[in-house]
Amino acid sequence: DVDLRELTGGGLTGAVESSKLAGGSYEDKMNAAPVAAAAPIANGGGGGGGISMADVAKHNSKTDCWVVVDGQVLDVTSFLSDHPGGELAILTFAGKDATEEFNMIHPPDVIGKYAPDSVIGSLGGGGGAVAAGGAPAAGGAPRN
């Protein structure tokens, strides 16, 4: 085994850190404890199991766009024009689970930081707080 600290006199540790001249990035926190996912809206996904993929799949257009990321259902319709990667990057996954692709290019805190209001519930078998068509279900949380 090669010990980087011993080999370099303590100069290399193997920790990922950004350049002091780069202004920082999400990589600065790669060695820290994982950041918790953004919390769903109160009562979002409640009522017996969350929002089903069948319901999510109905929201697959530029004027009504939902995606799933890490089990959270997001209504990103109003965020499309603000997305730095362009609308098409999101619309490709409209009505689908975008978790794998999303997590490849975004830091863990990006939803909570830039689009916290987009979280409308949790993925589940159905009976969630949002009814098909985007209207709040009886007793469900109101949507923004």
Higher-pLDDT residue of 14, 43: 14
> How many whole angstroms separate alpha carbon 79 and alpha carbon 68?
14
Put residue 127 in one of left, alpha, beta given phi > 0 → left and psi -120 to 50 → alpha: left
Q: pLDDT of 69-95, one tens digit each?
A: 999 999 999 999 989 999 999 999 999
- ∠ CA 62-63-67, nearest 5°, is 65
Contact 73, 119 (CB under 8 A): yes
Contact 79, 118 (CB under 8 A): yes
Contact 69, 40 (CB under 8 A): no
Higher-pLDDT residue of 66, 16: 66
> How many whole angstroms separate alpha carbon 55 and alpha carbon 108?
25
Residue range 41-67: average pLDDT?
80
Check whether 140 has a pLDDT greater than 70. no
Q: pTM of the entire structure?
A: 0.56
pLDDT attached to residue 41: 43
Higher-pLDDT residue of 139, 73: 73
pLDDT confidence bin for 97, thresholds 50/70/90: very high
Q: pLDDT of 114-124, one tens digit each?
A: 889 999 999 98
With pLDDT > 70 as the criterion, what percentage of the chain qualifies? 53
